[in-house]
Amino acid sequence: MSNAASRRARITIPSLAVAVVASIALVAVPATADHTETPTQVTLVGSLQDELGCGGDWDPGCAATKLQPTGDAGVFAATFTVPAGSYEYKVAIGGSWDENYGAGGEQNGANIPLVLLEDAELRFSYDHASHRIAVAPATPQPGVSDADAELAGTSLREDLTRERFYFVMTDRFQNADPGNDTGGYEIPPGTPPDDERLVHGYDPTDKGFYHGGDIAGLIEKLGYIDDLGTTAIWLTPSFKNRPVQGSGENVSAGYHGYWITDFTQIDPHLGTNEELQQLIDGAHDRGIKVFFDIITNHTADVIDYAEGQYTYIPKSDEPYRDADGNVFDDRDYAASSTFPELDPATSFPYTPIFNSTADATVKVPSWLNDPIYYHNRGNAVFDGGEGDEYGDFFGLDDLFTEHPDVRQGMIDI
State residue 151's pLDDT score.
Answer: 78
pLDDT (tens digit, 0 to 9) for every residue of the chain, 413 residues total? Answer: 344 444 444 333 333 333 333 333 333 333 333 568 899 999 999 999 999 999 999 999 999 999 999 989 999 999 999 999 999 999 999 999 999 999 888 999 999 999 999 999 999 999 999 999 999 899 876 676 788 777 776 666 667 777 899 999 999 999 999 999 999 999 999 999 999 999 999 999 999 999 999 999 999 999 999 999 999 999 999 999 999 999 999 999 999 999 999 999 999 999 999 999 999 999 999 999 999 999 999 999 999 999 999 999 999 999 999 999 999 999 999 989 999 999 999 999 999 999 899 999 999 999 999 999 999 999 999 989 999 999 999 999 999 999 999 999 999 99
Q: What is the pTM of this model?
A: 0.67
pLDDT of residue 343: 98
Q: What is the pLDDT of residue 152?
A: 72
pLDDT score, position 142: 66
Instruction: Look at strands 232-235 and 112-116 and give their pairing.
Output: unpaired
Which DSSP category does 38 fall into?
Answer: P
Q: Write b or e for each residue in 43-76: b if 16 or more Cβ atoms lie within 10 A of its Cβ, otherwise e.
A: bbbbbbbebbebeebbbbebeebebeeeeeebbb
Contact 114, 74 (CB under 8 A): no
- Asked if residues 396 and 300 have their Cβ atoms less than 8 Å apart, the reply is yes
In which element (H, E) is residue 226 found?
helix 222-227
Q: Which residues pair with 87 in a beta bridge?
A: 114
What pLDDT score was predicted for residue 147? 81
Alpha helices in 243-333 (DSSP H): 273-285
Q: What is the pLDDT of residue 35?
A: 66
Q: What is the pLDDT of residue 335?
A: 87
Say which amino acid occupies 13.
Answer: I
State the pLDDT at residue 149: 74
Task: Note the pLDDT of residue 143.
Answer: 72
| CA–CA distance, 49 with 47 (Å, rounded to integer) | 6
Contact 95, 44 (CB under 8 A): no
Cβ neighbours around 234 below 10 Å, total: 15
